[in-house]
Amino acid sequence: MSKEVMDLTDVTVRFAGDSGDGMQLTGSQFTNTTALVGNDLSTLPDFPAEIRAPAGTTYGVSGFQLHFSSSDIHTPGDQPDVLVAMNPAALKVNLNNMRPGSTIIVNINSFDSKSLRLAEYETNPLEDGSLDGFNVIPVPLSQLTATALENSGLSAKEIARSKNFFALGMMYWLFSRPVEPTQQWIKNKFKNTPDIAAGNEKALMAGYYFGENTELFTTRYQVEPAKLPKGKYRNITGNEALAIGFVTASVKSGLPLFLGSYPITPASDILHELSKHKNFGVRTFQAEDEIAAITAAIGAAFSGALAITTTSGPGVALKTEAIGLAVMTELPIIIIDVQRGGPSTGLPTKTEQSDLLQAMYGRNGEAPIVVLAAKTPADCFNLALEATRIATKYMVPVMLMSDGYLANGSEPWKIPDPDSIPKIEVKFRTEKEGFQPYLRDENLSRPWALPGTPGLEHRIGGLEKANITGNVSYDPENHEFMVRLRAQKVKNIENDIPELDVEGDKDAELIVGGWGGTYGAITEAVNRCRKKGLKVAQTHFRYINPLPKNTGDVLRKFKYILCPELNMGQLSKILSSEVGARVQPFNKIQGLPFKSSEIEKKIENILGEK
Alpha carbon distance 265, 350 (integer Å): 9
Q: Which residues of 326-362 are buried (b: 16+ CB within 10 A; e: fewer)?
A: bbbbbbbbbbbbbbbbbeeebbbbbbbbbbbebbbeb
Same domain, 246 and 101: no
Same domain, 299 and 396: yes
Residue 68 confidence class, pLDDT cut points 50, 70, 90? very high
The residue-averaged pLDDT of 60-76 equals 96
Tens digits of per-residue pLDDT, 184-232? 999 999 999 999 999 999 999 999 999 999 999 989 999 999 998 999 9
By CB atoms closer than 10 A (0-12, 13-18, 19+), residue 483 is middle
The verdict on residue 473 lying in a domain is no
3-state secondary structure 521-573: HHHHHHHHHHHCCCCEEEEEECEEECCCCCHHHHHCCCCEEEEEECCCCHHHH
* 3-state DSSP assignment of residue 403: strand
Supply φ then ψ for residue 345, to 5 degrees.
-70, -30
Which residues touch 230 (CB under 8 Å, ≥6 apart)? none
Q: Are residues 305 and 357 both part of a single domain?
A: yes
Question: Which CATH number goes with the domain that contains 559?
Answer: 3.40.50.920
d(CA 136, CA 28): 24
Q: What is the mean pLDDT of the chain?
A: 96
With respect to residue 426, please indicate whether it lies within any of the assigned structural domains: no
Instruction: Among 223, 251, 276, identify where a domain stops.
Output: 223
d(CA 526, CA 564): 12
Residue 341 and residue 196 share a domain: no
> 100-112 burial by CB neighbour count: b if 16+ within 10 A, else e?
eebbbbbbbbbbe
Question: Do 373 and 290 share a domain, yes or no?
Answer: yes
**Residue 609 DSSP symbol:** H
337-394 pLDDT, tens digit each: 999 999 999 999 999 999 999 999 999 999 999 999 999 999 999 999 999 999 999 9
Is residue 433, in this structure, part of any structural domain at all? no
Asked if residue 442 has pLDDT above 90, the reply is: yes
Q: Mark residue 439 as left, alpha or beta (left: phi above 0; alpha: psi -120 to 50; beta: remaining).
A: beta
Same domain flag for 524 and 413: no
Banded pLDDT at 54 (limits 50, 70, 90)? confident
Res 610: pLDDT: 56
Contact partners, residue 51, CB within 8 Å, separation at least 6: none
CB 401 within 8 A of CB 571: no
pTM: 0.95
Rounded to 5 degrees, φ, ψ at 454 are -55, 130
Report the percentage of the chain scoring pLDDT > 90: 96
Residues of the domain holding 562: 503-609
Say whether both 548 and 416 belong to one domain: no
Q: Has residue 609 got a pLDDT over 80?
A: no
In a domain, 455, yes or no: no
The answer to whether residues 95 and 146 belong to one domain is: yes
In a domain, 461, yes or no: no
Tens-place pLDDT, residues 547-572: 999 999 999 999 999 999 999 999 99
176/251 same-domain check: no
CATH number, domain of 93, equals: 3.40.920.10
Is residue 190 domain-shared with residue 85, that is, in the same domain?
yes
Evaluate whether residue 482 is within a structural domain.
no
Mean pLDDT computed over 402-427: 97
How many structural domains is the chain composed of?
3
Is 273 within the bounds of a domain?
yes
Residue-wise over 69-98: b if at least 16 C-beta within 10 A, else e?
A: bbeebbbbbbbbbbbbbbbbbbbbbbeebb
Tell me: pLDDT of 594 over 80.
Answer: yes
Kind of pairing between the strands at 233-237 and 410-414: antiparallel
Return d(Cα 505, Cα 557) in angstroms, integer.
12
Give the pLDDT of residue 1. Answer: 58
Among 420, 436, 459, which residue terminates a domain? 420
In a domain, 228, yes or no: no
| 601/543 Cα distance (integer angstroms) | 27
- Average pLDDT of the residues in 407-416: 96
Q: What is the pLDDT of residue 368?
A: 98
